[in-house]
């Protein structure tokens, strides 16, 4: 018998496409509904109802779903701009909460979530890459001390999706900082959406807080980002509270730019050595007479190839020239459920995720001013 009754907030064309299915597939869980606020836009309600139909569960309003008997877990993947309000409504019911990344679109909203979680005394966790085998191997290297004191860290999260090389010639973008808007159909703010991964990883690996941020952003690859006036790439130079220096590169680089989903890696520089850990290794390369994939069908509502639901419609060609050798992987959601069962603290809670938002917002401020920003 399932130990957890789960409500999923959001719908298709969001990460809930995968989150909800993973919760539903775990024998510890029973997915009882897909839900959202009662006044969401019609297009969003339609996408939510579509996911509910695919999962064969009812679609309810948020208040209806939270009133269902025995619901003790909510997975939330609503629009960035609504995350704080929705999370606080869930936490007020004393319900454990699994959160999409990033936590919220402002430091104030993120702090409100962390404070509500602390007051409720429930378990929260935000999606990161910390449970991936390569990240766990990096953490083991830090703990072992074999590299000596770590003085510098570099992390990349570069997503190989979308059709690059479409930015109009001579496009030069000046950062104006975050205006609180992150939800767009065609593209995402990539310092925010991809940058949270290396920022969270650096925070988790070192156990240190960031005190200074220098950031740059730009449009280098995609016309969709340029048309919206948002960045497709960002880089951060971070100073941690013990003097460690960290750097992060993040963004979307285009489908043909990497033989798999993209570059996911971290390099640790210690007094006794240097080591790099990556999601691509170990792997084998396969060469044959098949043409190299340079393009993929473009879905009009998903030109950046963000969602599996639209991929099912366009059927992009598979990338099969690099094959990663399988390593045992503990999924982020399974780790969250393990913490519910054991009573252990998750690796990345809402309180941890608040600091990630502080760093990312400082990155936007720095990119706009050209100056380092202190936290």
8 within 8 A of 16, measured Cβ to Cβ = yes
Q: Report whether pLDDT(327) > 80.
A: no
Architecture, CATH, for domain 4-128+333-349: 3-Layer(aba) Sandwich (3.40)
Query: 39: how many CB neighbours lie within 10 A of its CB?
Result: 7
Q: Which residue has the tokens 């000046």?
A: 174
Distance CA 357, CA 302 (A): 26
Q: Which two tokens stand for residue 312?
A: 């099912």
Of 35, 19, 24, 33, residue with least CA distance to 2: 24
pLDDT in tens, 157-208: 999 999 999 999 888 889 998 888 999 989 999 999 999 999 999 999 999 9
**Under CATH, which number does the domain 133-329+358-374 receive?**
3.30.360.10
pLDDT in tens, 55-96: 999 999 999 999 999 999 999 999 999 999 999 999 999 999
Least confident of 198-207, 290-299, 312-321, 354-363: 290-299
Measuring CA to CA, how many Å separate 171 from each of 34, 167, 168, 219, 360?
A: 42, 7, 6, 7, 24
In the structure, what pLDDT confidence band is assigned to residue 297 with cuts at 50, 70 and 90? Answer: confident
Q: Report whether pLDDT(1) > 70.
A: no
Q: Report whether pLDDT(251) > 70.
A: yes
User: Where does the chain hold its CATH 3.30.360.10 domain(s)?
Assistant: 133-329+358-374
Q: Report whether pLDDT(44) > 70.
A: yes
Distance CA 193, CA 363 (A): 13
Helical pair 42-55 and 16-25, crossing angle rounded to 10 deg: 30
Of 8, 71, 26, residue with least CA distance to 332: 26
Q: Which two tokens stand for residue 105?
A: 């679109």
Distance CA 122, CA 139 (A): 26
Q: Find all residues with CB under 8 Å of 293, minimum gap 6, and list them.
A: 255, 256, 317, 319
pLDDT in tens, 217-226: 999 999 999 9
Average pLDDT over residues 229-237: 97
User: Where does the chain hold its CATH 3.40.50.720 domain(s)?
Assistant: 4-128+333-349
Question: b/e string for 240-271 if b means 16 or more Cβ within 10 A?
Answer: beeebebbbbbbbbbbbbbbbebbbbbbbbbe
In the structure, what pLDDT confidence band is assigned to residue 331 with cuts at 50, 70 and 90? Answer: very high
Q: Report whether pLDDT(320) > 70.
A: yes
Task: Give percent of the chain with pLDDT exceeding 70.
Answer: 99
């Amino acid at each position: 018998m399932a130990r957890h009754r789960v409500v999923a907030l959001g719908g298709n064309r969001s990460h809930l496409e995968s989150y909800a299915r993973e919760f539903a597939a775990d024998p510890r869980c029973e997915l009882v509904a897909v839900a959202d606020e009662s006044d969401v836009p019609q297009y969003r309600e339609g996408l939510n109802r579509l996911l509910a139909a695919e999962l064969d569960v009812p679609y309810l309003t948020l208040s209806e779903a939270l009133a269902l008997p025995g619901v003790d877990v909510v997975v939330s993947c609503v629009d960035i701009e609504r995350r704080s309000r929705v999370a606080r409504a869930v936490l007020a019911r004393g319900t454990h909460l699994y959160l999409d990344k990033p936590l919220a679109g402002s430091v104030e909203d993120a702090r409100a979530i962390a404070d509500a979680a602390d007051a409720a005394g429930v378990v929260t966790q935000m999606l990161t890459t910390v449970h991936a085998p390569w990240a766990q191997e990096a953490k083991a290297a830090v703990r072992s001390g074999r590299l000596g004191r770590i003085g510098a860290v570099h992390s990349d999260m570069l997503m190989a999706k979308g059709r690059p090389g479409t930015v109009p010639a001579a496009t030069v973008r000046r950062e104006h900082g975050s205006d609180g808007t992150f939800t767009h159909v065609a593209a995402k703010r990539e310092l925010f959406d991809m940058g949270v991964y290396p920022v969270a990883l650096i925070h988790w690996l070192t156990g240190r807080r960031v005190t200074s941020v220098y950031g740059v952003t730009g449009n280098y690859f995609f016309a969709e980002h340029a048309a919206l006036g948002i960045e497709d790439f960002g880089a951060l130079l971070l100073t941690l509270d013990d003097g460690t220096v960290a750097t992060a590169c993040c963004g979307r680089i285009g489908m043909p730019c990497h033989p798999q989903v993209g570059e996911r890696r971290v390099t640790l520089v210690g007094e006794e050595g240097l080591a790099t850990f990556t999601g691509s290794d170990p792997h084998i390369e396969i060469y044959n007479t098949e043409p190299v994939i340079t393009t993929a069908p473009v879905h009009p509502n998903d030109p950046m190839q963000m969602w599996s639901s639209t991929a099912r419609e366009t059927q992009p060609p598979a990338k099969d020239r690099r094959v990663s050798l399988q390593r045992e992987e503990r999924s982020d959601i399974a780790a969250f459920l393990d913490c519910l069962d054991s009573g252990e603290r998750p690796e990345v809670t809402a309180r941890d995720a608040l600091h990630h938002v502080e760093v990312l917002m400082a990155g936007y401020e720095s990119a706009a001013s050209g100056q380092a920003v202190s936290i």
